[in-house]
């Protein structure tokens, strides 16, 4: 078979530890034998980030703006222990945070659903994708411990010198606590735009939920911004695509989710998204089966696995022990990026290959061959547990049959 050609490069962001090992095997066994792979390579491994003063992370995000599509391997976010382990010059910020700040996007997390790995919620048949607004609210709050009786007020002083506005938060009769939160119209609008775009892109309904009945100004602003953008820019496109936008209260959304079949996107405010994304991923089975895509309102896409670098497995690997690390989410990061590249370049062969690779991955698991994390939770009897490399080789074997 002749290798599939690419016209535009993908931005490739390499990473750390066990996922870096998987990255190379995936490329060698599942991609380069079939595709004349064209990537612009950025090494986001911690050592190289440190050597470049983290410039490589910024460059990789800028390249994503240039080419539109990136695929990223999991990376270490340094902490005190990593400072010593890698003898770092600085405790570099999370690459994902840096990239998101440059691309201004929203992260969508979606489970990969396969037969034999049944969600805890038995009626969930299709993936539930969570979109988390990643700016403001409690994550950028200010707080005060109130030692005793007194008054706390919110004061807004307009920059143009006009009359300040003030409201009393509470007149304390005794000790307590207080918190100030904010958000920005621009950030909410960009979040809403990413959600509408991604819903159209994936042809799924979009839900958005907040607590606007209680929070009549703050949460209500979110609701209004979503509604206005929908009416002015997306309503016709949604109708043409046969999908719907649905707003409901957060508690109603939670109740409906438990009874739903899945197959839609749930846009959440920052805190709701933080909490609910962990619930959804655990209920769907495994973090190793969760993909993640950063979608910017300007139409840039960055695909990755939702899990980290699987440090514990990496140390086993370094010690020469066998590992059985699940590469599914990392494979789907590649296929997601390749499909998007194919779509943007009208490269049918590339998109169709990516779809075949996804199917081969799912078929391999459904035939009973899987990594240890899945073997523990599968409803299948006598699954075959494969090591990290052999699982990828098993996928290759399934793939070969479909080409």
Tell me which residues touch ligand NAP (CB under 6 A). Answer: 74-77, 96, 287-288, 304, 307-312, 325-326, 373
Q: For residue 230, which of 250, 213, 206, 251 has the smallest C-alpha distance?
A: 206
To the nearest whole angstrom, how small is the minimum distance from the Cβ of residue 373 to ligand NAP? 4
> Residue of minimal CB distance from ligand NAP?
308
Nearer to Mg ion, 133 or 339 (CB): 133
What is the Cα–Cα distance from 194 to 16, expressed in whole angstroms?
28
Looking at 40, 274, 343, 355, which residue binds Mg ion (CB under 5 A)?
274
Nearer to ligand NAP, 298 or 316 (CB): 316
Q: Is 279 a residue that touches Mg ion (CB under 5 A)? A: no
To the nearest whole angstrom, how small is the minimum distance from the Cβ of residue 134 to ligand NAP? 13
Q: Is 343 a residue that touches Mg ion (CB under 5 A)? A: no
Q: Is 278 a residue that touches Mg ion (CB under 5 A)? A: yes
To the nearest whole angstrom, how small is the minimum distance from the Cβ of residue 10 to ligand NAP? 18
What is the Cα–Cα distance from 110 to 280, expressed in whole angstroms?
9
Report what 365 binds from ligand NAP, Mg ion, none; CB cut-off 5-8 Å by kind.
none
Report what 388 binds from Mg ion, ligand NAP, none; CB cut-off 5-8 Å by kind.
none
To the nearest whole angstrom, how small is the minimum distance from the Cβ of residue 367 to ligand NAP? 19
Nearer to ligand NAP, 130 or 257 (CB): 130
Report what 74 binds from ligand NAP, Mg ion, none; CB cut-off 5-8 Å by kind.
ligand NAP
Report what 278 binds from ligand NAP, Mg ion, none; CB cut-off 5-8 Å by kind.
Mg ion
Nearer to Mg ion, 30 or 306 (CB): 306
What is the Cα–Cα distance from 21 to 85, expressed in whole angstroms?
19
Sign for the pseudo-dihedral over CA of 61, 62, 65, 69: negative
89-97, 178-186, 270-278, 363-371 -> range binding Mg ion (CB under 5 A): 270-278
To the nearest whole angstrom, how small is the minimum distance from the Cβ of residue 217 to ligand NAP? 34
Nearer to Mg ion, 120 or 175 (CB): 120
What is the Cα–Cα distance from 327 to 315, expressed in whole angstroms?
17
Nearer to Mg ion, 26 or 130 (CB): 130
To the nearest whole angstrom, how small is the minimum distance from the Cβ of residue 290 to ligand NAP? 9
To the nearest whole angstrom, how small is the minimum distance from the Cβ of residue 137 to Mg ion? 14
Beta bridge partners of 155: 166
Report what 288 binds from Mg ion, ligand NAP, none; CB cut-off 5-8 Å by kind.
ligand NAP
Whether 353 and 35 have beta carbons less than 8 Å apart is answered as yes
What is the Cα–Cα distance from 21 to 389, expressed in whole angstroms?
10
Q: Is 139 a residue that touches Mg ion (CB under 5 A)? A: no
Report what 309 binds from Mg ion, ligand NAP, none; CB cut-off 5-8 Å by kind.
ligand NAP
> Residue of minimal CB distance from Mg ion?
274
Report what 76 binds from ligand NAP, Mg ion, none; CB cut-off 5-8 Å by kind.
ligand NAP
To the nearest whole angstrom, how small is the minimum distance from the Cβ of residue 83 to Mg ion? 24
Residue ranges binding Mg ion (CB under 5 A): 274, 278
């Amino acid at each position: 078979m002749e290798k599939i050609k690419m016209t535009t490069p993908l931005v490739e962001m390499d990473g750390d530890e066990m996922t870096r090992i998987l990255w190379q095997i995936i490329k060698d066994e599942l991609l380069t034998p079939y595709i004349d792979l064209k990537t612009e390579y950025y090494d986001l491994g911690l050592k190289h980030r440190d050597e470049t003063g983290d410039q490589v992370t910024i460059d990789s995000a800028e390249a994503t703006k240039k080419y539109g599509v990136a695929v990223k391997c999991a990376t270490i976010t340094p902490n005190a222990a990593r400072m010593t382990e890698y003898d770092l010059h600085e405790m570099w910020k999370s690459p994902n945070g840096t990239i998101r700040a440059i691309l201004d996007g929203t992260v969508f997390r979606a489970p990969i659903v396969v037969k034999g790995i049944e969600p805890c919620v038995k009626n969930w048949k299709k993936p539930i994708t969570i979109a988390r607004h990643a700016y403001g609210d409690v994550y950028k709050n200010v707080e005060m411990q109130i030692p005793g009786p007194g008054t706390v007020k919110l004061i807004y002083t307009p920059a143009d010198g006009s009359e300040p506005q003030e409201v009393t938060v509470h007149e304390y009769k005794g000790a307590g606590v207080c918190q100030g939160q904010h958000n920005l119209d621009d950030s909410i609008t960009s979040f809403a735009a990413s959600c509408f775009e991604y819903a159209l892109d994936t042809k799924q309904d979009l839900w958005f939920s907040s607590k606007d009945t209680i929070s009549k100004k703050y949460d209500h602003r979110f609701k209004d911004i979503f509604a206005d953008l929908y009416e002015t820019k997306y309503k016709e496109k949604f109708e043409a695509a046969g999908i719907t936008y649905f707003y409901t209260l957060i508690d109603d959304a939670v109740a409906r989710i438990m009874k739903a079949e899945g197959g839609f996107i749930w846009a959440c405010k920052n805190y709701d998204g933080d909490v609910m994304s962990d619930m959804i991923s655990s209920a769907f089975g495994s973090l190793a089966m969760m993909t993640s895509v950063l979608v910017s309102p300007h139409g840039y896409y960055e695909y990755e696995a939702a899990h980290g670098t699987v440090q514990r497995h990496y140390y086993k690997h370094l010690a020469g022990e066998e590992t059985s690390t699940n590469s599914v989410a990392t494979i789907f990061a590649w296929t997601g990026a390749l499909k998007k590249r194919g779509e943007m370049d009208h490269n049918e062969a590339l998109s169709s290959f990516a779809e075949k690779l996804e199917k081969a991955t799912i078929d391999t698991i459904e035939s009973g061959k899987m990594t240890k994390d899945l073997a523990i939770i599968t409803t299948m009897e006598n699954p075959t547990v494969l090591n990290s490399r052999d699982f990828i080789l098993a996928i290759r074997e399934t793939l070969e049959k479909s080409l």
